[in-house]
Amino acid sequence: SAAEKGGYDYFMLKEIAEQPKAVADTLLGRIGTDGRLTLDELRMPDRMLREIDKVVIVACGTAFHAGMIAKYAIEHWTRMPCEVELASEFRYRDPILDQRTLVVAISQSGETMDTLMALRHAREQGSKVLAICNTNGSTIPRESDAVLYTHAGPEVAVASTKAFLTQVVACYLVALYLGQVRGTKWGDEITGVIRELSEISTQVGQVLETMEPVRALARSLKDKNTVLFLGRHVGYPVALEGALKLKELAYMHAEGFAAGELKHGPIALIEQDLPVVVVVPSPRGRSVLHDKIVSNIQEIRARGARTIVIAEEGDEAVVPYADHIIRIPRTPVLLQPLVATVPLQVFACELATARGNEVDQPRNLAKSVTVE
Ligand code: G6P
């Protein structure tokens, strides 16, 4: 009913709008007044967390993209190797797992069969499994050694939005906590990031207030057949997520690429007026990546692409090559996905509506896939 949708036309719109609260709720009670993390709910003694020598993330769909983003943060803050694998592939390749491997299973529903089978396989090999889950008491957390719940609240739309943002936040909490417990050399940085993480929900709210031009742009592209998405570093999984949302909702051909791969193939796809969305890393921080992606934008535009650029406030270097600019607030490098994904959700939702598609219940998809 309309009341259930909180006045929005679709659950997806409501859930997109709820993201600042979902993010804030997922942080709530987990950051102490001294700026240190308390994750007692992990029920894993610090001694055990110090003995871990590898993290393996398993997930499907949108949750897999959250895991891809988490890999950058986990490796950076913990200096432990981190692998991310599609749950459906994981156990069929005979993965190397032992008691010192922490397996993180990410799932909104907690019922995805592929993810469940992957975690069962990991536990059989003696690994500890931590679930990151949005649904209290569901199967995946029940079968795991520990669980860190995301507090997104119920997600009804098939295409995941607020759950995704909170999965990234929860993964970051785990990464920062591991860093804190293991005392990596990033101690000062970790304290700073925890502070900045606590401000990120406000920034997500700011993005939501500036989405009208994104909607207008989406409507103008409703008769296109293909949209490409480019990103690198943590912007690469954001590009994959933008493409997945468009496939799921608009039934369009959409592909995400790592921008560095452009010259190894995707550039052959560029033709006149092809919309290409580019997620631009901050010019601060890893500025080398910023400069490289600006030259990618230049290259594809020279070949006639219509460039849609997602760039940080104040990044003027992209302006000459952008047909459309979507501005996002300045954030630390690793936090950018939390703001950069939001316009892509709005874009896909609006394009789907413009094409007359059912936004909350896309054809052929299920909210939770309980078969292998
Ligand atoms: C289905 C949904 C996706 C979701 C995926 C994983 O395919 O349509 O939106 O990302 O399952 O679901 P989970 O509940 O495990 O996060």
Pocket residues for ligand 1 (CB within 6 Å)? 60-63, 107-109, 112, 115, 158-160, 365, 367-369
Quick one: average pLDDT of 81-102?
Answer: 95
Which of 138, 156, 359, 369 has the most ligand 1 atoms within 8 A of CB, as the residue to mutate? 369
Instruction: Give the residue, by CA position, lying nearest to ligand 1 atom 4.
Output: 61
At 12, which helix (H) or strand (E)? helix 11-17
CA 332 to chain centre: 15
Q: How far, in Å, is the centroid of ligand 1 from the Cα of 369?
A: 7
Model-level pTM? 0.97
pLDDT tens per residue, range 100-151: 999 999 999 999 999 999 999 999 999 999 999 999 999 999 999 999 999 9
Confidence of residue 191 (pLDDT cuts 50, 70, 90): confident
Ranges 2-16, 182-196, 210-224, 357-371: which has the least confidence: 182-196
User: What is the rounded distance in angstroms from the CA atom of residue 58 to the CA atom of residue 187?
Assistant: 27
User: What is the rounded distance in angstroms from the CA atom of residue 35 to the CA atom of residue 31?
Assistant: 6
- pLDDT of 24 > 70? The answer is yes
Quick one: average pLDDT of 54-77?
Answer: 97
Mean pLDDT of the chain: 95
- pLDDT of 312 > 70? The answer is yes
Confidence of residue 186 (pLDDT cuts 50, 70, 90): low
pLDDT of residue 66: 98
Q: Is 175 exposed, middle or buried (0-12, 13-18, 19+ CB in 10 A)?
A: buried
- What are the tokens at 91? 């156990």
Phi, psi of 200 (to 5 degrees): -70, -30
Say which DSSP state 31 is in. B
Residue type for position 29: G
Ranges 44-48, 52-56, 212-216, 282-286: which has the least confidence: 282-286
Ranges 83-97, 121-135, 244-258, 284-298: which has the least confidence: 284-298
Residue with the two structure tokens 């943002």 = 165
Annotate 100-111 with DSSP letters as a single string. TEEEEEEESSS-
Confidence of residue 230 (pLDDT cuts 50, 70, 90): very high
- pLDDT of 344 > 80? The answer is yes
CA 147 to chain centre: 19
Confidence of residue 291 (pLDDT cuts 50, 70, 90): very high
Q: Dihedral sign, CA of 133, 135, 137, 140?
A: negative
| Structural contact between residues 225 and 252, judged by C-beta atoms closer than 8 angstroms | yes
Q: What percent of the chain has pLDDT over 90?
A: 86
pLDDT of residue 231: 98
Q: By three-state DSSP, how is residue 325 classified? A: strand
User: What is the rounded distance in angstroms from the CA atom of residue 203 to the CA atom of residue 290?
Assistant: 21
Q: How far, in Å, is the centroid of ligand 1 from the Cα of 180?
A: 31
